[in-house]
Amino acid sequence: MCLANLSVGDAGPVELIDAAATGGFDSVNMWLVEPVAMAHVTSFRRDVTPVVGNGSLIEAIRRRCDQRGVTIFTASPGWLGPKFDRGSIAAVMETLAALGARSMSLVGWDPERTRLLENFIAVCEAAAAIRLDVHLEFMTYAGLKTVEEARDFVARAAQPNARVIVDALHLDRSGGTPDAVRTLDPATIASLQLCDAPKARPPAEKLRDESVNGRRLPGEGELPLFALLDALPAGVVIELETPDASLVGSSIEDRAKRCGDAARRFLDAYRAARPSR
């Protein structure tokens, strides 16, 4: 299991590693710079020290990973908006290599699809040179809005290291279903970002707020999560991404432990219901 930085958005990179270890997670999804999401978080603010090119912080992260037995599954440089600068690729790849990351994760914020595709291919090619996968996330309010759009985009890119992130909330809120996930080539599935939510979808203008402030822990909502797990290949990485503004009074490590405990309860219930899986 992997702890997503958004679950404990006020955690810096070293704090994130400590939180993951306390919560019983194997790895983290780490922000390398302040993400777009932070501008929409209502429960806290924090100063984010960029990791890219910061040698002393990179060394501190590596040291803490070794001490706590936590790896960096993926890291996000907050890229691929309309003003993306390909000149920034080299520094990010150098940082990812220094951190020992296994992959990098991206959101396609650019609404201009041809430019987005060209930039995505450039990133994939650079990542392949250091043996990293590139994970692409779709969101209703981003450039790629549905699982079908992400699937077709990755197919057009034709990069062997390109993968699609399946986020349970974004899948449901974009009108997607577990059956739609079955249309993905299993080899192109990066991970499941697991969370829960009420069945009723908020209005379109509230979707972003829900995604960064109002998710629920798995098993505490009404999303068809068992069916979604059925649609995914066995052994897929599970990322807990459950930001909840109502928990702002709890410590970072308490929230991480709550996430880990809830995820294990949910996955145990799933395995009990699906013994063949």
Mean pLDDT across the stretch 52-69? 97
pLDDT mean over 230-252: 92
Look over the chain and give the mean of its residue pLDDT values, rounded to a whole number.
Answer: 95
246: confidence class by pLDDT, cuts 50, 70, 90:
confident
pLDDT mean over 132-149 = 97
- For residue 167, give Cα distances in angstroms to 13, 90, 203, 233, 239: 22, 28, 19, 15, 9
Rounded to the nearest 10 degrees, how much is the dihedral formed by the CA atoms of 151, 158, 51, 40?
-30
pLDDT at 45 (0 to 100): 67
Residue 221's CATH number: 3.20.20.150
Residue 67: which pLDDT band, with cuts at 50, 70 and 90?
A: very high
pLDDT in tens, 185-238: 999 999 999 999 999 999 999 999 999 999 999 999 999 999 999 999 988 999
Whole-structure pTM value:
0.95
Domain that holds residue 81: 2-273
pLDDT over 70 (residue 12): yes
Looking at the predicted structure, is the pLDDT value of residue 181 above 90?
Answer: yes
Q: How far out from the chain centre does Cα 193 lie?
A: 6
Residues 256, 259: Cα–Cα separation, whole Å: 5
- For 200, other C-beta atoms within 10 Å of its C-beta total 6
- pLDDT score recorded for residue 47: 67
CA distance to 13, 72, 258, 276, per residue, from 76 (Å): 12, 11, 24, 35
Please count the structural domains in the chain.
Answer: 1
Please check whether residue 32 is in contact with residue 95, taking contact to mean a CB–CB distance below 8 angstroms: yes
* Residue 213, CA atoms < 13 Å, CB-side half-sphere: 15
pLDDT of the residue at 78: 87
Residue at 166: amino acid letter: V
pLDDT of residue 49 exceeding 90: no
| Residue 42, pLDDT above cutoff 90 | no
Token couple for 36: 């777009």
